[in-house]
Homo-oligomer: A and B are copies of this chain.
Amino acid sequence: MKLSILGCYSATPRIIAHTTSQILETRGHLFLIDCGEGTQVEIRRHKIKFNLIKHVFISHLHGDHYFGLVGLISTFRLLTRETDLHIYGPKGLKDLITLQMRLADSWTNFKLIFHELTSKSSELIFEDEKVSVYTIPLDHRIYTNGFLFKEKAFERKLNLNKVEDLNIDKAYYRKLKQGDDVVNDQGLLISNETVTFQGHQPKSYAFCSDTAYKEDIIPIINGVDVLYHESTFLESHAHLCEKTKHSTAKQAATIALKANVKQLILGHYSTRYGGLEGFKTEASSIFKEVLLANDGKIFDF
Contact = CB atoms under 8 A, between A and B. Distances in A.
Interface of A: 11-15, 37-38, 40-41, 44-45, 61-64, 67-68, 70-71, 74-75, 78-79, 90, 92-93, 95-96, 99-100, 103-106, 141-142
B104 A71 contact: no
A109 B68 CA distance: 24
A8 to B, nearest CB: 16
Contacts of A12: 40, 71, 74-75, 78-79
B38 A104 contact: no
B96 A92 contact: no
A260 to B, nearest CB: 34
Nearest to A17: B41
A248 to B, nearest CB: 20
A295 to B, nearest CB: 13
A71 B13 contact: yes
Given A37-B38, A38-B38, A63-B70, A15 B103 contact: no
9 contacts: A13-B40, A13-B41, A63-B71, A63-B104, A63-B106, A64-B74, A67-B71, A92-B103, A96-B96
A44 to B, nearest CB: 6
Contact of A99 (B45, B70, B99, B105): B99
Contacts of A103: 61, 90, 92-93, 96, 142
Contacts of A68: 37
B38 A41 contact: yes
Contacts of A106: 62-63
A95 B105 contact: no
A243 B85 CA distance: 27
